[in-house]
Structure formats: C-alpha cells, structure tokens
Amino acid sequence: MESKANFTTSTDKCLLQSDELYEAGTLLIHSLKRNSFMFMFLRAVMGTAPDAGQFMALLLKLINPKKTIEIGVFTGYSLLLTALTIPDDGKITAIDINRSTYEIGLPIIEKSGVKHKINFIESEALPVLDQLLKDPANKETFDFAFVDADKINYANYHEKLLELLKPGGVVVYDNTLWGGSVAMPEDSVPKFRLASRDAAIEFNKYLGNDTRVQISQVPVGDGVTVCRRL
C-alpha cells in the first residue's frame, strides 16, 4: 500500500489509508449508515471523522455524562452526536468563535429534538473557560469534554478543563495524530499544516508527561486522545 500523508481532501483524513482497510478494519458500515445522511451533511468540511464519532458515541454511552463541554462546534456534527447520546437531562456548553457555521446545522439539531440540551456560546473558548472557573460552583462538576478547535491552544484548554472536570471525568482531544503528520519529517508536511502539526507533537508530549490523567491515544479518525482525570 502506498504510504502518503492524508491531506488530499477533508473527508478522507482517516489514518487507515485505503477504503478497504477502513471498512474491513473498523466494521463501520452498518452502524454508520443508519445515520449517514444527517451526519454526512453536518460533517461537510472539518467535522470529526465517522469512526472517531462512532468511538465517541460509545464512550459517551459508557460514561453517561450529565454535564459536558465542547470546544469547536463548526456545523455541529460532534455536537449533535453528543446531544443524541447523553441523557435527556444532560447539558452541553458548546463554544465556537463562529455562530454562522453552528446555524447551518441548527435545523437538524432542532429536528432531532435535542436543542434543549445545548447552550451555544459564540466566543473564543479560553475566556469562556475562565469565566466558568470564576464561579466555584462550576469547579469539578463536568463529566465530559470534547476539544476539536485550534490545536495550538490544546494545552491551555487542558489546564482549565482539568479544573472543571470531576475526578474520573473524561476529556477527548481530536486530531492528535493530525493526518499522520506528527510522525513525518517537517519537509513532507504542507506549510499550512505545520503549525498545527508542531502543536500536536508538543501537546502529545505534554499529555504523555501529565501525571494528573490516565490517557490512551486511539488511532481512529485523525487520532483521538482520551484522558481520564485522576
């Protein structure tokens, strides 16, 4: 099989580098097709990969979180997936700098009957996390967080999320393998991808040395790292 950096289109960013391997290896087809149209629409450009979404839905069912936070909403693929998976009285604080992309997916969220679980905040994420932390009632209350935004801030998000998460709470980071580029020589990575690739390498080292969490880097989608707060 040809080895290539997976930078061709936004929809084939999975690390399994052929369709056959992706389908055979992950036995995805049946469970993904059940909801494919709705989710394909929302995933459009930057959405989390379907196998990573499937993995996250499984994690969410296992954790059954009531209080969650998402950083990086885009058109709402992972947001809808979370909203559909958590219990009916579960809540998601969803943060993105751009409300207009959230509004593209909003009609589907509304049709799915899960809008009541979502508090969308249009903002840079860091000030929102700081604001939440100003209220002691928010500290150590979140069960789950998903981070899928600007890669250069992942370590900053991690520090604040650890204060917001309960002991035993889980944070999932998307794109921690960044198309496989974290293991590639710098000169084979397209220039526009370098900053995020370097940030992912630094972040992975930083998480690997963080004794406050138990981690597992899972090679689904673009690489997701699951951290459980100790």
Ligand X SMILES: C[S@@+](CC[C@H](N)C(=O)[O-])C[C@H]1O[C@@H](n2cnc3c(N)ncnc32)[C@H](O)[C@@H]1O
For residue 95, state whether it binds ligand X (rule: CB under 6 A): yes
* Segment 45 to 74, residues that bind ligand X, using CB under 6 A: 46-48, 71-74
Give the chain as a DSSP string.
Answer: -----S-S-TT---SS-SHHHHHHHHT-HHHHHTTHHHHHHHHTTTPPPHHHHHHHHHHHHHH--SEEEEE--TTSHHHHHHHHHS-TT-EEEEEES-HHHHHHHHHHHHHTT-GGGEEEEES-HHHHHHHHHHSGGGTT-EEEEEE-S-GGGHHHHHHHHHHHEEEEEEEEEE-SSGGGGGGS-GGGS-HHHHHHHHHHHHHHHHHHT-TTEEEEEE-STT-EEEEEE-
Q: Does 85 bind ligand X (CB under 6 A)?
A: no
Enumerate residues 6+ apart whose C-beta is below 8 A from 30: none
Identify residues 136-155 at the interface with ligand LAOBWLLU (CB under 6 A): 148-151
Verify binding: residue 8, ligand LAOBWLLU, rule CB under 6 A. Answer: no
Residue 96: name its binding partner from ligand LAOBWLLU, ligand X, none (Cβ under 5 to 8 Å by kind). ligand X
Is residue 10 near ligand LAOBWLLU by the rule CB under 6 A? Answer: yes
101 binds, among ligand LAOBWLLU, ligand X, none (CB under 5 to 8 A by kind): ligand X
Residues 164-203 touching ligand LAOBWLLU, rule: CB under 6 A, are 174-175, 196
For position 98 contacting ligand X by CB under 6 A, the verdict is yes
Q: Which is nearer to ligand LAOBWLLU, 70 or 150 (CB)?
A: 150
What residues line the site for ligand LAOBWLLU (CB under 6 A)? 10, 13, 46, 48, 148-151, 174-175, 196, 222
What residues line the site for ligand X (CB under 6 A)? 46-48, 71-75, 77-78, 95-98, 101, 124-125, 148-150, 153
